[in-house]
Amino acid sequence: MNSNQNIESNPMGKYSVNPSVECARESANHQSGLSDLNQRINQPPTTIRPAGQIVTPLPPLGKRSLYLLITELGLAVFGVYISSGFNSVAISVLLKEKGLSDALNSLNLSLYIMGYIAGCFLVIFLFRKLSSQKATLFVIVGILMSVLAFAFIKQTIFLIFWNFIQGVFAAAIAVIFSNIVTTISCFMKNKSFFIAIYVSVSSLAFFLGVESIGFLYKISHVSPFLLLTLFTGILSLPLIFSKGIHEAMEPGVEEHKASSVNLLSSMKSLVTIPVAFFSIIMYGLNNNIIGLIPIWELDQGYGLGNVAILITPLIMGGIILTSFFGSFSHYIGVTKTALIYTAILLSSIFIMHLRSFRNFSEIPLFLGMVESPILFISGGVINAFQSLYLCILSDRFKGAALTGACASASFLSHVVGVIVVPLGGLMMVKKGHHSLGVLILVINGVFVAFLLFQLWKQRKSSRNYSDQQAE
């Protein structure tokens, strides 16, 4: 039989194997005693599509076309995340100037996160109703309007409400960016490095947005929002009108219209991939709880200047080291990579926790010689978890399933943040500042145990299947 009869082209321009051939391959793998879970996780997935659907494969991309797609995406990512970073600080400052208490300002942040969670549902709905280009245009216009509105809205209640709207569109564009990045990564030789670069660039843009408030906000209370709206809109135009990106995305969007993919079904799929689920939780947990580090440091007697010094290496680590850590999975597989990330992160958290004890806190060198490098490494590892799960999603999902998986990942990472951040603050109030380190170690330890248990179950299942085949 001609082997070409056993392959079915998919919308990524690659090939997925016929189910019968896939089963034969699985059987051969088990009979040969293959026990490495990385190879199982990294196998090309068989994408389930609606019956009768014909999918046209995309033509291979040349270097020039690929560089053009990357440039179009990069400009939009840079513009959107600079605005996002600026707004994350400017809105709190604006509300503080209007006399909003810290408690109500915290409520404002909670509403933003709730909006972000709602946005994960919105993006799946948009892809069912609109084309890739129209959905992207709708979301970017929503972001521009949400930024522009802050230049003119004066009433506090409307500012808080509009921050919720901004959270909705922030989630939608984050999912769209993730979807585009994981789609384009399939054309890359080293997709893990490419995805890590995306995470680094988005972190850099967010950081620049935060830092820009120092001089933009001094211009006036209106001009910064107008300037950012114009800046983001101009940088987003190449993405909106990109022919190549929307051609790559359109097969998956069309599949959405005939599929039953939703946020709940996508989350169930993620739970069945232990390393991906674990990476999402680790990223969401640690990326959100680091927001308590400034409070933690102030409680231990650090001045505002030292706190700023400590936050800087954390952010810079997320920008600089992500591309280094993010490329690990290309060489050693996703399971070993996740375990290495975990070992580095837990070691870093433990060393940071030692800072809570008085005998260490009185050592001046602990700040510069130990704590700053540890925060630098931690920032890189936390962002690398995001790079890792996006890489796994790119391997395991295609089309409509990929969009649902990206939306579910954003949803889960922010739900974790909503839970652990208030819990961390409560622990610090009730048990003292040293309890934050204990809480982070315990929660991370629970999910590490979950990962190890799931990997053990997979290994046991693989051995049982191999024994059955041998009989």
List the single range of 121-130, 332-341, 358-367, 393-402 with lowest mean pLDDT.
Answer: 358-367
pLDDT digit string (tens) for 192-251? 889 999 999 999 998 888 888 777 767 666 678 888 899 999 999 999 999 889 888 887
What is the fold, at CATH topology level, of the domain defined by 62-258?
Growth Hormone; Chain: A; (1.20.1250)
* φ, ψ at 352 (rounded to 5°): -65, -35
pLDDT digit string (tens) for 154-173? 777 777 788 888 889 999 99
Q: Is pLDDT larger for residue 25 or for residue 287?
A: 287
**pLDDT band, residue 56 (cuts 50/70/90):** very low
Which residue in the block uniquely carries the two structure tokens 């909705």? 168
pLDDT at 428: 72
**pLDDT band, residue 470 (cuts 50/70/90):** low
d(CA 200, CA 342): 19
CB 332 within 8 A of CB 461: no
What is the fold, at CATH topology level, of the domain defined by 259-471?
Growth Hormone; Chain: A; (1.20.1250)
Residue 8, H or E segment: strand 7-9
Tell me the average pLDDT of the chain: 77
What Å distances lie between residue 65 and 120, 177, 244, 271, 275, CA to CA? Answer: 30, 18, 8, 36, 33
| Beta pairing partners, 8 | 16
Is 421 a residue whose pLDDT tops 60? yes
**pLDDT band, residue 7 (cuts 50/70/90):** very low
Which residues does 398 contact at the CB level (< 8 Å), separation at least 6? Answer: 10, 11, 12, 16, 45, 47, 252
Q: Is pLDDT larger for residue 115 or for residue 252?
A: 115
Average pLDDT over residues 13-37: 40
Residue 376 burial (CB count, 10 A):
19
What Å distances lie between residue 408 and 118, 146, 353, 443, 464, CA to CA? Answer: 11, 24, 32, 21, 32
Which residues does 5 contact at the CB level (< 8 Å), separation at least 6? Answer: none
**pLDDT band, residue 303 (cuts 50/70/90):** low
Domains 62-258 and 259-471 agree in fold:
yes
Q: End-to-end CA distance of the chain, in Å? A: 28
CA 373, 379, 382, 387 dihedral sign is negative
Which residue in the block uniquely carries the two structure tokens 């990579």? 337
Average pLDDT over residues 346-375: 67
Among candidates 185, 191, 196, which has minimal Cα distance to 320? 196
pLDDT at 232: 93
**pLDDT band, residue 91 (cuts 50/70/90):** confident
CB 83 within 8 A of CB 213: no
Helices 372-396 and 156-184: crossing angle in degrees, nearest 10, is 60
pLDDT at 271: 87
3-state class (DSSP) for residue 15:
strand
Among candidates 376, 452, 469, 467, which has minimal Cα distance to 37? 452
Is 55 a residue whose pLDDT tops 50? no
The Cβ-side half-sphere exposure at 21, using a 13 Å CA radius, reads: 15
**pLDDT band, residue 37 (cuts 50/70/90):** very low
pLDDT at 300: 61
pLDDT at 433: 66
Is 22 a residue whose pLDDT tops 60? no
pLDDT at 103: 56
Highest mean pLDDT among 244-253, 334-343, 354-363: 334-343
Residue 48 burial (CB count, 10 A):
13
pLDDT digit string (tens) for 111-123? 888 888 889 988 8
pLDDT at 40: 41
Is 23 a residue whose pLDDT tops 50? no
CB 117 within 8 A of CB 421: no
Average pLDDT over residues 91-114: 70
pLDDT at 202: 92
Which residue in the block uniquely carries the two structure tokens 């707004």? 87
Domain boundary assignment for the chain: 62-258, 259-471
Residue 7, H or E segment: strand 7-9
| Beta pairing partners, 7 | 17
